[in-house]
Structure 1
Amino acid sequence: MWILPLVGYLGSIVGFCFMTLAIASGLYYLSEIVEEHTVIAKRFLTKLIYSIMVLQLLLCIVDRFPVLLTTLGIFSHFVYLGNMRRFPFVKLTDPLFLTSCVLVLVNHYVWFKHFSHHQERAYQNMASYYDRPDDMPSFTEIASYFGLCVWLVPFSLFVSLSASDNILPTMGSEPSPSGTGGMVDTGAARRRGQGMAKALVDSIRGAIGAGSSMVGWKKPEDRL
């Protein structure tokens, strides 16, 4: 077969593009919702962080999860909670924010190593290939733990937070060129106050538009 494998590769590329567009659209929509309901979003994220900390503690007590890794996970969520001080704004050079980014990667690595080692040890103790150890978590359980206890809060913060360089200016903080007594244009202020996820999507869209203009797919004067 020669054509069918090519069709498979083409379908995979198209499917990946559609999935990427769906994720970008979802991020954009969630960022819009958070911008309009920041107080509700802050309450929801705070309760979510505390709930996950309780869940990790229960997993350690009931399901015998490692104490050291559980302590690291709970400490990480305490650090994530510190980013709620100036919600929804965050300074990208803030040590607390940078520590949160590092802790996301560290938690992903240590829990991945833990589950991989646990699974490898369980397979080594099997008497037959068709046996299934009772204490080995399934792929669904592992993926659910990563999604809820490792990725959910950092991903939610990424969607919700806005860079401090984009903080909305207050009335009278900047002189108005039109002499309106310090009133700031609402449209410009809204653009400066957009979330990080929304800004990322806009930057990617702008880069794609600039690239298409360079190769002649879209003329600069045709832009909206």
Structure 2
Amino acid sequence: MSFLYILSWVSTVIHIVFITISIAAGLYYIAELVEEYTQTARKLITLMISTTVFVYIMFMFFDDLPWSMILCGFAAQIFHGIIMTNFPFIRFLSVPFIGAAIFLIINHILAFQFFTSIYYPFVQVLAYFTICLWMVPFALFVSLSANDNVLPTTINDSMGSQDVVTNYFTRGKKQGLLSLFNYAKDSLLPTRSKKSF
């Protein structure tokens, strides 16, 4: 074993660390842009949904993909479109969000089954996964933090209150990524009772 071999492993670890830091910094920057320009982000994500629908239409005419993958992709884009009606306010326990997540999982399973049974070059498989499966959910994931920093502009109250600010502060629940983690922690992890001495 030569010293250059050991040095190559050290270099690989350094590259992985730098790539991870670069991706994290890029995601942070994109999240900041989404928080600052929510209407532009809404238009971009809507354009991504339309592009994905167009790609699925092109698949119907030019490729022999299974109809189950195409229909599942259309259903996922319908749910993404419904999510965009209330953007940037995304509710994790709403039917559109849960439906989009379920169709994302189902479409991954169908795609893995199809691409393992019929050979396609890796670049084409990666193109399908990137454009059809990952692009819109990733954009929605990055934009989750915009929900916490947007001031209320319209009345969306089922109790009939006419004051927008009062409605916003009395609602009492944040719908961001942190609230999802807190909900998961409270509901899934066991709680310990404190001993009183």
What percentage of aligned pairs have identical amino acids? 29
Give the structure-1-normalised TM-score: 0.64
Matches within 5 A, 1:178-193: none
Matches within 5 A, 1:15-26: 15-26=15-26
Give the structure-2-normalised TM-score: 0.72
SS in 2 for 1:115: helix
- Residues 89-140 of structure 1 show CA distances to partners (whole Å, capped at 9, x for unaligned) of 2122223212322322222221122011102xxxxxxxxxxxxxxxxx3211
Q: Counterparts of 1:56 and 1:99 in 2: how far apart (Å)?
A: 19
Q: Which entry has the higher C-alpha Rg, 1 or 2? A: 1
Q: Counterparts of 1:62 and 1:97 in 2: how far apart (Å)?
A: 31
Q: Counterparts of 1:168 and 1:139 in 2: how far apart (Å)?
A: 41
Q: Tell whether the 8 Å contact from 2:75 to 2:103 is kept in structure 1 after alignment.
A: no
Q: How far apart are 1:75 and its partner, in Å?
A: 0.7
- In the alignment, structure 1 residue 32 sits paired with structure 2 residue 32: yes
Q: Counterparts of 2:103 and 2:145 in 1: how far apart (Å)?
A: 20
- Code of the aligned partner of 1:155: F
Q: How far apart are 1:66 and its partner, in Å?
A: 1.3
Q: Counterparts of 2:68 and 2:48 in 1: how far apart (Å)?
A: 22
Matches within 5 A, 1:66-77: 66-77=66-77
- In the alignment, structure 1 residue 55 sits paired with structure 2 residue 55: yes
- In the alignment, structure 1 residue 173 sits paired with structure 2 residue 166: yes
Aligned residue number for residue 79 of structure 1? 79
- Closer, same or farther in 2 for the Cα pair 1:172/1:146, shift >3 Å? closer
Q: Counterparts of 1:168 and 1:44 in 2: how far apart (Å)?
A: 18
- Code of the aligned partner of 1:150: L
- Code of the aligned partner of 2:138: F
Q: Tell whether the 8 Å contact from 1:89 to 1:167 is kept in structure 2 after alignment.
A: no
Q: How far apart are 1:169 and its partner, in Å?
A: 5.8
- Residues 48-80 of structure 1 show CA distances to partners (whole Å, capped at 9, x for unaligned) of 202211211211221222112111111111111
Q: Counterparts of 1:157 and 1:68 in 2: how far apart (Å)?
A: 24
* Greater helix content: 2
Aligned residue number for residue 170 of structure 2? none
Aligned residue number for residue 7 of structure 1? 7
- Code of the aligned partner of 1:69: M
Aligned residue number for residue 132 of structure 2? 149
Aligned residue number for residue 188 of structure 1? none
Q: Counterparts of 1:141 and 1:69 in 2: how far apart (Å)?
A: 15
Give unpaired runs (5+ residues) of structure 1. Answer: 120-136, 175-192, 200-224
Q: Counterparts of 1:172 and 1:34 in 2: how far apart (Å)?
A: 23
Q: Tell whether the 8 Å contact from 1:91 to 1:97 is kept in structure 2 after alignment.
A: yes
Q: Counterparts of 2:116 and 2:149 in 1: how far apart (Å)?
A: 43
Counting matched residue pairs gives 161
| Runs of 4+ with >6 A deviation | none
- Closer, same or farther in 2 for the Cα pair 1:98/1:167, shift >3 Å? farther
Q: How far apart are 1:148 and its partner, in Å?
A: 0.7
Q: Counterparts of 1:46 and 1:168 in 2: how far apart (Å)?
A: 19
Q: Tell whether the 8 Å contact from 2:83 to 2:90 is kept in structure 1 after alignment.
A: yes
